[in-house]
Homo-oligomer: A and B are copies of this chain.
C-alpha cells in the first residue's frame, strides 16, 4: 500500500507538504531531524512552516510509516520504516557511524527477555565508543 493510500485509508489527505516531507525522509541516507527535513523542504517551498513538519511527523509515526528515535543531542531523529531496521556504532572521536546488523544484538535481546521479562525495542539502537581506526 502506498503512503497516499495509507493516509486516505485512515481519513487523512495527501498534501504537497506531506509528499515533500515523505520524500525527504525517504531520500535521506541517515536518521534525519525535524529541522533537517524543514531545511530541505523549505529550500524548495519557502512558505512551508516548521509546525507542519512536526505535525506531519506526528502523523507518520502514528500511521507506522516513520520511526522516531532519540539518538541524544536533544533532538529526535526520523527514519523511513520501509528502509528497515539497523543499528549504529557511533565513534566519539571521528563521529563516523557504522551500521551494525541485527545478529549482534539478538543474544542481548534474548537475555533481557528471559532474565528480566523485558521486551527490548532494539530497533535503531546507537552504541557509542571508539572505532578501529581511532583506537590505533
Contact = CB atoms under 8 A, between A and B. Distances in A.
A121 B117 contact: no
Contacts of A122: 127, 129
Interface residues of A, number: 30
A130 B135 contact: no
Contacts of A91: 118
B104 A111 contact: yes
A45 interface: no
Interface string A122-135: 10010111111001
A91 to B, nearest CB: 8
B92 A117 contact: no
A120 B116 contact: no
Given A72-B70, A105-B108, A111-B104, A116 B128 contact: no
Interface of A: 70, 72, 74, 89, 91-92, 98, 100, 104-105, 107-108, 111-112, 115-122, 125, 127-132, 135
9 contacts: A74-B74, A91-B118, A98-B118, A100-B112, A108-B108, A117-B131, A118-B127, A118-B131, A120-B128
